[in-house]
Amino acid sequence: MNPIALIGRADCWKQDLCEFKKLTDVFDVMTIGLDCPYAGDIQYFVTYHYKDIPEYIARRKSVEANIDFLVIGHKNRLGVDIVQPHKEPSGSSSMMGAIAAINLGYKKIILCGCPLEGMGVNGLSYNQFQKGWIARLREVEDYVRSMSGWTQKFLGSPTIEWLK
Q: What's the pLDDT score for residue 157?
A: 98
Q: What's the pLDDT score for residue 150?
A: 96
pLDDT category of residue 42 using cuts at 50, 70 and 90:
very high
Q: Please, what is the average pLDDT of the chain?
A: 94
Task: Specify the pTM.
Answer: 0.95
Kindly tell me if the per-residue pLDDT of 2 is higher than 70: yes
Kindly tell me if the per-residue pLDDT of 120 is higher than 80: no
Kindly tell me if the per-residue pLDDT of 20 is higher than 90: yes
Q: Could you tell me the CA-to-CA distances from 53 to 70, 76, 99, 112, 121 in Å, in that order?
A: 11, 13, 20, 21, 19
Give the domain range for residue 83: 4-163
- Helix (H) or strand (E) holding 50, with range, is none
- Per-residue pLDDT tens over the stretch 48-93: 999 999 999 999 999 999 999 999 999 999 899 999 999 999 999 9
DSSP symbols for 122-163: TS-BGGGGHHHHHHTHHHHTTTEEESSHHHHHHH----HHHH
Q: What's the pLDDT score for residue 121?
A: 65
Q: What percentage of the chain carries pLDDT values higher than 70? A: 98
Q: In what order do the strands lie in the sheet with 70-73?
A: 82-83, 70-73, 44-46, 28-32, 4-7, 109-112, 144-146
Q: What's the pLDDT score for residue 126?
A: 82
> How many structural domains is the chain composed of?
1
Kindly tell me if the per-residue pLDDT of 119 is higher than 90: no
